[in-house]
Structure 1
Amino acid sequence: MSTAAESAKTAEMAAVAERYGLSRSSARPEFRGYLRDLWGRRQFIYTYARARTYALYAGARLGSIWQLLTPLLNAAVYYLAFGVLLGTAKGIHNYPAFLICGMFVFTYTQRSMTEGSRAISTNLSLIRTLHFPRATLPLAYVVNELNQMFISMGILLVMVGVSDGLALRWFLIIPALLLQTMFNIGMTLIFARLGTFLTDISQLLPFITRTWLYASGIFFSIPDKLAALDAPGWVIHVLALNPISAYIDIARRALLEEHARHALPNAWPIAVGWAVISLVGGFIYFWRAEDRYGRG
C-alpha cells in the first residue's frame, strides 16, 4: 500500500472515530481519572494478591504454614550469623527482637521491589487481553507482601510481649507500617516500569538490595558503631537519610523501649519525607508510560 493510500485510510478512520466519539483504548488516561479507575479496581487488586499467595504455597506440603516458617527461619539464620558468630549483639538489649524487627522491615521493601520489577513482564498476556490500569499489578504485589508483613509483625509482637511485656507504644507500629507501605508502593511502581523496558534490572536488583541490607543498620546499631569508630558527628545524619534505616528505626522505637538510646536522629521526619516523595514520584513515573505497557 502506498504512502498516499495509507494516509487516506488513516484520515478516514480518524473521521469515523470522531463521528462516533471513539478514542484510542491504549491512550494514556488523565491522571485523576487514572487514580479513580485504580480505586475502582481495589477488589481486583486484593483478590489478585490473595491468588498469588495461594499459588506460591499451593505446591508445598505445609502450604500456607510457610508464611510463618519463612520469616522465622530467616531470622534464625541471621541471628546465628551475626548475633552469635560475629558478636554484633553486644550492648543491645533484646537483640533477637532488634535483629528480627530490622529483617522483617527490610524484607518487606526488598520483596516488594524485587517482585514488582517483574509485575508487567510476567503478565503480558493479561495486559494484552484486558483493558485495566496497569498499576493494579504492582499494587497487588505490594498488598501480597503487606499480608506477609502482618504475619511477621504478629510473630514479632508475641516475641516482644513475652520478653519485655505489653506497651501502649506498640500502636506506633501502625503509622510506621503505613509510611513504609507508601514508600514501597512508590518504589515498586518505579521498578515495575524499569523492569518492563530494562529487563536486566531484575538480575541487578539482588546485588543492589544486598548492598542496601548491609548498610541499613539491621544487624547492628548505627550510632553505636559510629561512636566506636570515632566518626564525625555529621556522618550519622547522612546515614540517617537512608529510607530503610529510618523505617527500621521507627519500627524499633515502637516495639523496643531500650531502642531509644540506639535511635537515629530525625527518623520520623525522614520516614514521612521519603514516603511522600516515593509515592507521588512513583505514581507519576509509572503513569507516564501507561500507554506503552504490553507493546512489542
Structure 2
Amino acid sequence: MSQVLDTPPPTPVPADDDLAALAARHGLSVSGARPSLPEYVRQLWARRHFIAAFATAKLTAQYSEAKLGQIWQVMTPLLNAAVYYFIFGVLLNTKRGVPDYIPFLVTGVFIWTFTQSSIMAGTRAISGNLGLVRALHFPRAALPISFALQQLQQLLFSMAALVVILLGFGVPVSFSWLLAIPALVLQFTFNTGVALIMARMGAKTPDIAQLMPFVLRTWMYVSGVMWSITRLTKGDHLPHWVTLALETNPAAVYIDLMRFALIDSFHAKQLPPHVWAAATGWALLAGVAGFVYFWKAEEMYGRG
C-alpha cells in the first residue's frame, strides 16, 4: 500500500491591493514616488540654497584647468562674435544698413549664448549626473534649474565686457538699460523651462545631446544673431507666415529686447508687434509646461 503524506496547503499570495493596504497601515510608501506638484515646489524651494551653491560651484570649476581660468567666460562669446563679424559682417555684408553693427552683433551673440548653453546643459543635467541622482534623494528638477542659473551667472559676469564694448563704440548709458533686467528675467524663465524639457528627454534618450548642437545652430541662424530681421522682413517679398515665424521666434524676441534696452540706435520700430507680451508668453509657456513635463517623470530619473 502506498503511503499518503499529509502536506500543508500552500500559503496564499497576497493580492496587490492587500499589499498596498498593508504598507499604508504601517506607514510605508513607494521609494522615490512622485510627490504632488505643490509638494514638489515646496521641496524645491527648501533646497534653493543647494541650487544656488551647486550652480556657483559648477561655474567655478568649469574653467579650473585652463590657465586663463574664468577669463574664458568672456573670451568664448567674444571670439565667436569676432568669427561671425568676419564671415557675416564682412564677407556676407550683413552689417550694411545696421547702425552700431558691432554692439548689435556682440549683444546678439551674448544673449543667444545664454539660451544655447542653458539648453545644452539642461539636456545633460540628468544623464550626466546619474551618480548624484542615484546616491541622493532630492527633487531632480534642481539639476536643470541649477544649470540654467549657472548660465545666468556666466552671462552676468560677461555683461561687464559687453558694457565696455558698448561704451567703446560710443553707445551712451541711458535709463533704457534698466529694461535689461525684466528681459533677462523672462529669458531665464524661458531657458529654464526648455532646459527642463530637454533634461527629461535627455534622461530617456542620451543620444539627443549629440543632436542638439545641430538643432541649436540652425535655430541661431534664423534668430537674427548676425543679421537684422527687420531688414529681411521689410516689404512683401516673404510669405506672411515666414515673417510671423521670424518675428515671434523666442530667441529673436529676447535678443531684440536686449538690443532695444542697450543700444540707442536700435529703435522701437525695429521690435516686432507686442514684443513684451510675446516675451512674457514664451516665458510662461516654457516655464510652466517644462516644469510640469519634467515633474511627471520624476519617478523614472536614475532608474534606467
- TM-score interval, normalised by the smaller of the two chains: over 0.9
CA RMSD of aligned residues (A): 2.0
* Alignment equivalent of 2:180, drawn from 156, 173, 176: 173
Aligned position for 1:95:
101
Matches within 5 A, 1:1-296: 7-8=13-14, 14=20, 17-162=23-168, 163-227=170-234, 230-231=237-238, 235-260=242-267, 261-296=269-304
Per the normalisation by structure 2, the TM-score is 0.90
Residue type at the aligned position of 1:195: G
- Specify every segment of 5 or more residues in structure 2 that has no aligned partner in the other structure, as ranges: 1-9
Give a deviation string over 1:141-162, Cα, whole Å, max 9, x none: 1011001111222221222233
Give a deviation string over 1:61-110, Cα, whole Å, max 9, x none: 11112112222222212112211222111111110110111111111111
Residue type at the aligned position of 1:268: W
1:247 and 1:146 mapped to 2: Cα distance?
14
1:219, CA displacement in angstroms? Answer: 1.0
1:233 and 1:55 mapped to 2: Cα distance?
47
**Does the CA-based 8 Å contact 1:223-1:236 persist in structure 2?**
no
**Does the CA-based 8 Å contact 1:189-1:286 persist in structure 2?**
yes
1:25, CA displacement in angstroms? Answer: 2.7
Higher alpha-carbon Rg: 2
1:12, CA displacement in angstroms? Answer: 7.7
1:236 and 1:116 mapped to 2: Cα distance?
30
Partner of 1:74: helix, strand, or coil? helix
The count of aligned residue pairs is: 293
Give a deviation string over 1:116-162, Cα, whole Å, max 9, x none: 11110111111111110000011111011001111222221222233
Greater Cα offset, 233-242 or 243-252: 233-242
Partner of 2:265: helix, strand, or coil? helix
Per the normalisation by structure 1, the TM-score is 0.92
Task: Report the CA distance shift for 1:23/1:99 in structure 2 as closer, same or farther (over 3 A).
Answer: same
Higher helix share: 1
Residue type at the aligned position of 1:44: F
1:234 and 1:223 mapped to 2: Cα distance?
15
1:5, CA displacement in angstroms? Answer: 6.9
- Specify every segment of 5 or more residues in structure 1 that has no aligned partner in the other structure, as ranges: none
1:233 and 1:268 mapped to 2: Cα distance?
21
Residue type at the aligned position of 1:69: M
1:235, CA displacement in angstroms? Answer: 4.1
Residue type at the aligned position of 2:222: A
